[in-house]
A and B are shown apart, each in its own frame.
Chain A
């Protein structure tokens, strides 16, 4: 069964900490995405990547960075966590071309910054 795996389901971090959220996919997908989900705001794109070592800013990149050193892994980094980054973070991947035009999502990481 194909899968997108996010390393943590729940995280609690302190303000100012550097936080790493990891995402791994086993489908050989070229594209990977990080979203945050907040009530009433839906899913907002933070960063995405079309290829290894490639990244592009989404709609709300401020306060975040990403790393994609290998095709299967896409990491989201909160350089200095703040309370307004408390949210549900969702990783997704997709293939370029072919017949599957949608995303496959991970189960999400609920991050609380205190």
Chain B
């Protein structure tokens, strides 16, 4: 079985400050890890993925994520938050060789002007 935990329902950060949205996972074998963003009344948009290679992954809109195998974490980060980053963020995991993706429950990011 595979699972994802996003321990924070909501993260508040001031505009211009760095942000972190946390994610831990559990999977058998090698993980494929993803972050998606959802704006109100929209579908999910892909932000970035980790498949293999460099533990620091860069994605869309200045976001990046760090894969930490020993801590089974894949935290989403951005050096300087924008008000327009306010949205719902989902972490997801898929085991290598397996098609089904499991999503976390989502973390609401609120960037305060």
In the complex, number of A-B residue pairs with CB atoms less than 8 Å apart = 56
A25 cross-chain contacts in B, Cβ below 8 A: none
Interface assignment of A110: CB less than 8 Å from any CB of chain B = yes
B100 cross-chain contacts in A, Cβ below 8 A: 45, 48, 58
Contact B99 A31 (CB under 8 A): yes
Residue-by-residue, is A24-67 near B (CB-CB < 8 Å gives 1, otherwise 0)? 00000001010100001111010010100000001000000000
Which residues of A (81-114) have their CB < 8 Å from a CB of B?
90, 92, 94, 96, 99, 101-108, 110
Number of B residues contacting the other chain (C-beta, 8 Å)?
Answer: 21
* Option from A4, A41, A43 in Cβ contact (under 8 Å) with B90: A43
Query: In whole angstroms, what is the CA distance A106 to B43 when docked?
Result: 6
Q: List 10 A-B contacts (CB under 8 A).
A: A4-B43, A33-B101, A42-B106, A43-B103, A48-B99, A96-B99, A104-B46, A105-B36, A108-B41, A110-B41
Chain B residues at the A interface, C-beta cutoff of 8 Å: 32, 34, 36, 41-46, 49, 51, 90, 92, 94, 99-101, 103-106
